[in-house]
């Protein structure tokens, strides 16, 4: 069994790599920071291949697929956010965010879904966020990228079910998790974050059970249901105030 995990140099991806290795998976771990990937590799008992690359570049995604086709579990986890009013945030950072959170995930999902479908074998986990179910003033681009991931993942999985395929696509939608995310996004979480290890284990277990939309923690499940029931203008207002509290 082999799992490929993007964004494995820290946070949720690193803890997913540890948990998958404990389950007996050989790994392909992907990120830009080679030293952190080497450190992780040295900690793990199963076979680990390092792919040190910037996934925001299309050619790197294609190279990754070309060199790693025998994958049983693909985890598209690499991603980041940014805080601020849309007219003030940095365009280049947002384009890099779109290339990482959306474009690279899209390319890898397409290449691996085709391949897995041909073999009628494989599972995929795309990491979105609870932000994927709503609009997020003050983190507008990040929320929009995660809406894309939720929508794409659910639709592809539905197509696979209709075709009677054994391949599945799950989507992980956590609230705050204690990782390096808040430093990169320049936010301070207003809610207590879940431990990354807990989220990683929960997500992998649920993916292997074939669960489609994975929301760790009771509070986030409640927020998910509340957001579905609330009128759109109210949930937008609540999102604005909860984001504003994240200002550092």
**Residue 54 binds to ligand NAP (criterion: CB under 6 A):** yes
Q: With binding defined as CB under 6 A, does residue 9 bind ligand NAP?
A: yes
SS3 at position 235: helix
Q: Is 12 in the site for ligand NAP (CB under 6 A)?
A: yes
Give the separation between CA 174 and CA 108, rounded to whole angstroms: 21
State the residue for tokens 């980041």: 80
Q: HEC profile for 158-217?
A: HHHHHCCCCCEEEEECCCCEECCHHHHHCECCCCCCEEHHHHHHHHHHHHHCCCCEECCC
Catalytic residues: 142
CB of 205 to ligand NAP, least distance (A): 17
Q: Which of residues 181-200 bind ligand NAP (CB under 6 A)?
A: 181, 184, 193
Measured CA to CA, the distance from residue 248 to residue 101 in angstroms comes to 23
Q: How near is the Cβ of 219 to ligand NAP at its closest, in Å? A: 13
We find the least distance from the C-beta atom of residue 166 to ligand NAP, in angstroms, to be 26
CB count within 10 Å of CB 197 equals: 16
- Choose, by CB under 6 A, the member of 3, 5, 11, 28 that binds ligand NAP: 11
Q: Of the candidates 35, 4, 6, which has an alpha carbon nearest to the alpha carbon of residue 21?
A: 4
Number of residues located near ligand NAP, criterion CB under 6 A = 29
Interface region with ligand NAP, contact rule CB under 6 A, candidates 71-79, 84-92, 153-161, 236-244? 71-79
Find tokens 């995990």 and name the residue: 5
**Using the rule CB under 6 A, is 77 a contact of ligand NAP?**
yes
109 lies in the binding site for ligand NAP (CB under 6 A): no
Give contact residues for ligand NAP (rule: CB under 6 A). Answer: 7-13, 31-33, 54-56, 77-81, 100, 127, 129, 174, 176-177, 179-181, 184, 193
């Amino acid at each position: 069994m082999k799992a490929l995990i993007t964004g494995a140099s820290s946070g949720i991806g690193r803890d997913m790599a540890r948990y998958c290795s404990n389950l007996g998976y050989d790994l392909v771990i992907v990120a830009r920071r080679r030293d952190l990937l080497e450190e992780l590799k040295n900690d793990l008992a199963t076979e680990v291949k390092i792919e040190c690359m910037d996934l925001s570049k299309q050619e790197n995604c294609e190279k990754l697929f070309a060199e790693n086709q025998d994958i049983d579990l693909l985890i598209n986890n690499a991603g980041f956010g940014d805080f601020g009013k849309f007219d003030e945030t940095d365009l280049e950072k947002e384009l890099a965010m779109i290339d990482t959170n959306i474009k690279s995930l899209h390319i890898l999902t397409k290449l691996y879904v085709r391949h897995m479908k041909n073999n009628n074998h494989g599972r995929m986990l795309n990491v979105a966020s609870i932000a994927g179910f709503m609009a997020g003033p003050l983190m507008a681009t990040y929320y929009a990228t995660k809406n894309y991931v939720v929508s794409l993942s659910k639709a592809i999985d539905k197509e696979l079910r209709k075709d009677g395929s054994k391949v599945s696509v799950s989507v992980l939608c956590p609230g705050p998790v204690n990782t390096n995310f808040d430093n990169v996004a320049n936010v301070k979480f207003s809610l207590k974050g879940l431990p990354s290890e807990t989220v990683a284990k929960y997500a992998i277990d649920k993916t292997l059970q074939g669960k489609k939309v994975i929301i760790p923690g009771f509070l986030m499940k409640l927020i998910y249901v509340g957001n579905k029931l609330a009128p759109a203008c109210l949930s937008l207002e609540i999102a604005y105030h909860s984001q504003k509290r994240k200002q550092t």
